[in-house]
Structure 1
Amino acid sequence: MNFRKSDLLNYRQLWWLDKFLVGHKGYIAGGCFKNIFNGEPVKDLDIFFENSQDFIEAQRYYKQLIKEKPKDWKFSYENKNCWSIYSIKDKVRLELIRNTYGNPKQVISNFDFTITKFAYYKNYDNLDEDDYMAVFEVIFHEDFFEHLHTKRLVVDNVLPYPVSTFNRMLRYAKYGYQPCRETKIRVVTELATLDPEDEKYFEEQLGKSLYEGMD
């Protein structure tokens, strides 16, 4: 599994995301980039963190924003997996993930489809020309753009939640994305190892989303 890193000079479509990475150490990763590069509306941004302390600090930052700017921000919902707020001005929901931690490469490596393996983050080891602010960068699977353009669903890692991946594969198919031959074989093979009598497992897995499965 190979990844590419880049600064943002070639990705003007992403510059509007900068404001959502201010005030905390989180980073954006997952399926929203598929929508952005396809010129489609973005309803949700998934923000991940390297550790629980970073999540707590980001949550504190946004709670303060809600108090100070109630016309711009409002609380959306929360559960054991994430804490969410809504940007009224931009009409986008921020999902602060709190059950998965790691650096951008670690997190997107565990996502299932290559078209979701993209992250937008601040590199604190790379400061701007004034040595003042961390430079915004991206990291993505080397085949991200090829598979996005051809609308291919490709899995190139272990599938810890094969039922969830199968369920997501059906949803992506509604938007014209089709699994390649190798991905079909991998998903079918993984599903064949499961116990069909384990109703509880299947019920839980069929309801898995990003926060309980893998994006």
Structure 2
Amino acid sequence: MATFPPEFVLPQKVRLRSLDETQVAPSQGGVTHKNRVGFMHRWGIDLTTPKLNYAKVMHLYSFICSMGGRFGTCVFQNPHPPIGKGIANALVRTSTDQGAKSVPLYAMNNSVNGALMPGDWVQFANHTKAYMVTAVLNTNGLGQGTVEFTPNLRKALPAGTSVKAGAAVNFTLELKSDDQDILLRADQGKQVAVQIDFVEYLND
């Protein structure tokens, strides 16, 4: 799988989208029935680069074209800076079922307040889905704590599964559209920004 060029990871702007799929069926009695379709949540990341010169624009555009539209995928380093202090070496403490919204962890630094904060990102080693932290994670004197996140856990976790957070999280993304275009004035040496719209790719 291709890796998004690291020199373009730190963007001028990032638009983050949360994409769920819900079935809604109003009844004759006026009650609306809702059903969530599996664990199909995906993140959307719309990237706008700083203004780039012609060579850099074409470098980035050639990479985007090489993905072959929605057919290809790439690994994209988390562009959002961490908020908490981090959870290096964290492991899942007890097996956790699919659908959970919290996971007990251990092997973190002892007695850390704000190891993870709401808006931080975590990822588990047995699947590629990225999760957003929803509550403060403090560790106790044994380096234990429970991380709460959204969306629901896509895949069950065995005890001992390693956990990544912050800049170590890598999104697996596909392009939102098969059509990709750029507008530039290379003849005048103009610098231009490039916008790329991605959607999280789920295949595990």
Could you say whether these structures have the same fold, taking a TM-score greater than 0.5 normalized by the shorter chain as the test? no
> What TM bracket, shorter-length normalisation?
under 0.3
Normalized per residue, which structure has more helix?
1
Greater RCO, CA 8 A, separation 6+: 2
**Whose radius of gyration is greater, 1 or 2?**
2
